[in-house]
Amino acid sequence: MSTSNWTRFNQHITRYRELGISLDISRMQFETSFFGDMESKIARAYADMDALEGGAIANPDEGRMVGHYWLRNAELAPAEQKAEIERDLADIKAFAADIHNGTITAANGEKFTRVLLIGIGGSALGPQLVSDALTDHEAPMALSFLDNTDPSGIDKVLAGLGDELATTLALVISKSGGTAETRNGMVEAKRAYEAAGLDFAKHATAITGIDSKLDNLAKQEGWIKRFPMGDWVGGRTSVMSVVGLVPAILQGVDIDQFLAGARDVDEKTRQKNTSENLAMKLALMWYHAGNGKGEKDMVVLPYKDSLVLFSKYLQQLVMESLGKEHDLDGKVVNQGVAVYGNKGSTDQHAYVQQLRDGVNNFFVTFIEVHEARQNLGANDEVEPGATTGDFLQGFLRGTRSALSESGRENMTISIPTVNAYYLGSLIALFERAVSFYASLVNINAYHQPGVEAGKKAAGSFLEVLKAARGFLADNAGTDLTATDVAKGIDADVESTYHALVHAAANASGINHTLASTPEEDTFSVEA
């Protein structure tokens, strides 16, 4: 390593010595003037964060406060929210104790042994990350997920539960209480419980907004429990609310430590000395790398299997927050930062070739975990003088050097180990970086207007599908093209074609005859 790299490393590593967390930005190629040039934007970002944490309507489009930082320090919250946070935390702990000790049992009187979490997006990604990162076969309850409306996916999970369904607690999570995928998962799960002779209500718990469709259903059917969600917690930042904490504690995760890790990072990154503020530095590096316009993608590479879902989690946190068409002044900006990655060194044998030699359209965030193995002293030498953990560190260092040599920017976040505390810390670090970055580029990070377009289009497609099936049935025995059907039901012809193909693939009575073009294909039902 050259002297200048070493000097730069010493200059540009920020260490929270008492927490054991550091950020090394020495391999990012910013000019020395960069931080000074950004000063006014930085000042605004700090002011925005103060206002947000102080209870301002930080999500103006939805007229909502943004309270996820209060979840780990209720003292900061307005009185009403403080009371809710404290009540929920006590309630979560009492509920978990009741489930674990058998005060609340399954309908057959036995203790619950498993959890089936039904949710999507922010109502699943956090629990998936926490479960994968922090639990193992010794967890008091195992967790399965229905996080899609894919029937074969649902079948696979339910089949995997088998007879254990009788002692499986269903946790249906939806902030809005009206998300189609989650509703469908719940309906299918309910059917499976009923098919096994089990009363779904006696196995179900809802986590949802007060008076949502789901809340009302759970109330009406007398589910075991309903945990309310405040509208001041966004889905993608809900992992430290009831959404993340209920499944976590059921699996034996130390939720107090999880919250403490986040609270400590919040505190450290609340102070306004940028050279000591890891979250602001992270946001500034995103700004620098992508020229404030997201021109470069963020590749997240944790060198630790237990963090493999972290980039998937960050995809929603970063991309749903920052991917916006308009800025806060209504100007079209098409902002965003794309995120991908899995884990090192595995990815070295997949796409790192392109990172090193191909198109330079990314920056890498390595996540280094100092502790190689919890069982220190295990005999894990794989050749004289080198352990598997030594290799893992070698590959991280090697990839960092190789990328730096070919002018690929990268930074490294280091943590001592993966546990509840440090997972909470990492999540907080990125949450705060997202908040800061949104201010640096003047966007609302807390709404998601773009998602609605796809939901509406899916709704229209289902209408076309129903009408197309009906039209085929009314014209049984006749070969019809998509154009014939589209005219008959007054729908867009391409949507009609896709609806007919889907209908034919999923019903034995509908024939699809392939011709040389989709236009000439015919569909029929037997008379």
Ligand X SMILES: O=P(O)(O)OC[C@H]1O[C@](O)(CO)[C@@H](O)[C@@H]1O
Catalytic residue positions, numbered: 320, 349, 455
Strand residue runs (E) in 178-243? 204-209, 225-229
> In this structure, which amino acid lies at residue 256?
D
Number of residues that bind ligand X (CB under 6 A): 14
Nearer to ligand X, 320 or 431 (CB): 320
The CB-of-320 to ligand X minimum distance in angstroms stands at 6
Residue 290 engages ligand X in binding (rule: CB under 6 A): no
Residue 320 engages ligand X in binding (rule: CB under 6 A): yes
Residue 120 engages ligand X in binding (rule: CB under 6 A): yes
Pairing type for strands 21-24 and 410-415 reads: antiparallel
Q: Which residue in 176, 459, 383, 409 sits closest to 299, CA to CA?
A: 409
User: Inter-axis angle of helices 125-134 and 242-250, to 10 degrees?
Assistant: 30
Cβ burial, residue 314 (10 Å; 0-12/13-18/19+): buried
User: Could you tell me which stretch among 32-40, 118-126, 329-337, 503-511 binds ligand X (CB under 6 A)?
Assistant: 118-126
Nearer to ligand X, 227 or 366 (CB): 227
d(CA 314, CA 326): 22
Which of 128, 135, 179, 425 lies at the binding interface for ligand X (CB under 6 A)? 179
Residue 121 engages ligand X in binding (rule: CB under 6 A): yes
Q: Which two tokens stand for residue 501?
A: 């193909």
The CB-of-212 to ligand X minimum distance in angstroms stands at 8
The CB-of-264 to ligand X minimum distance in angstroms stands at 26
User: Could you tell me which stretch among 174-182, 305-313, 365-373, 394-402 binds ligand X (CB under 6 A)?
Assistant: 174-182
Number of neighbours of residue 89 by Cβ within 10 angstroms: 19
Nearer to ligand X, 320 or 347 (CB): 320
Whole-angstrom CA distances from 315 to 122, 148, 325, 332, 430 are 11, 17, 17, 22, 11
Nearer to ligand X, 11 or 460 (CB): 460
> In this structure, which amino acid lies at residue 100?
H
Number of neighbours of residue 148 by Cβ within 10 angstroms: 16
Residue 408 engages ligand X in binding (rule: CB under 6 A): no
d(CA 300, CA 308): 10
The CB-of-457 to ligand X minimum distance in angstroms stands at 13
Which of 72, 84, 114, 122 lies at the binding interface for ligand X (CB under 6 A)? 122
The CB-of-235 to ligand X minimum distance in angstroms stands at 3
The CB-of-357 to ligand X minimum distance in angstroms stands at 36
Give residue 226's region: left, alpha or beta (phi > 0; psi -120 to 50).
beta
Which of 68, 72, 114, 175 lies at the binding interface for ligand X (CB under 6 A)? 175
Nearer to ligand X, 131 or 174 (CB): 174
User: Could you tell me which stretch among 86-94, 172-180, 190-198, 418-426 binds ligand X (CB under 6 A)?
Assistant: 172-180
User: Which H/E stretch holds residue 213?
Assistant: helix 213-221
Contact in structure between 410 and 367 (CB atoms under 8 Å): no
Residue 410 engages ligand X in binding (rule: CB under 6 A): no
Strand residue runs (E) in 82-165? 114-118, 142-146
The helix/strand/coil state of 280 is helix
Residue 451 engages ligand X in binding (rule: CB under 6 A): yes
Interactions with ligand X, residue window 220-249 (CB under 6 A): 235-236
Which of 26, 123, 241, 335 lies at the binding interface for ligand X (CB under 6 A)? 123
Residues that bind ligand X (CB under 6 A): 120-123, 174-176, 179, 182, 235-236, 320, 448, 451
